[in-house]
Amino acid sequence: MKVTLRLRLSSHDAHYGGGLVDGARVLGLFGDVATELLIRHDGDEGLFRAYESVEFLAPLHAGDFVEVEGEIVSAGKTSRKMRFEARKYISPRPDLGDSAADVLAEPVVVCRAVGTWSRRRQAAQAALTGGLC
């Protein structure tokens, strides 16, 4: 099962000089994708457990259009392992004008991650009995 979100990053998303967006914004988007995946799979939002890996591969800036995709790659009794990828597919062109932008010939992968979420009800029970499986 896969879920995809597409959105434009605004000036409110910029955290650093030059309109640079911090990596935490992308991780938040991964969380939104995970929430939808869990609702579709289990009927419950679940709880984030941990990231196994996170790779920041290219910068994001205010005005970039981003596609965030996630999928469940394995499911245990209470946990769900997920893989995520964020790609920018439109970038602003301030050198050409305030509203100029380019559709990229190929999307640029900006971040990849793998993480584990757990079903909310079972997570509380598992915490009491020694962990998730």
pLDDT digits (tens, 9 = 90+) for 52-107: 999 999 999 999 999 999 999 999 988 999 999 999 999 999 999 989 999 999 99
Which CATH number goes with the domain that contains 36?
Answer: 3.10.129.10
Question: Cα separation of 123 and 116, whole Å?
Answer: 12
**Domain range spanning residue 65?**
2-129
**Cβ atoms of 110 and 59 closer than 8 Å:** yes
For the chain, what is the domain count? Answer: 1
CB 110 within 8 A of CB 26: yes
The residue to which tokens 């799979």 are assigned: 41
Query: Rounded distance, CA 46 to CA 70, Å?
Result: 15
pLDDT at 84: 98
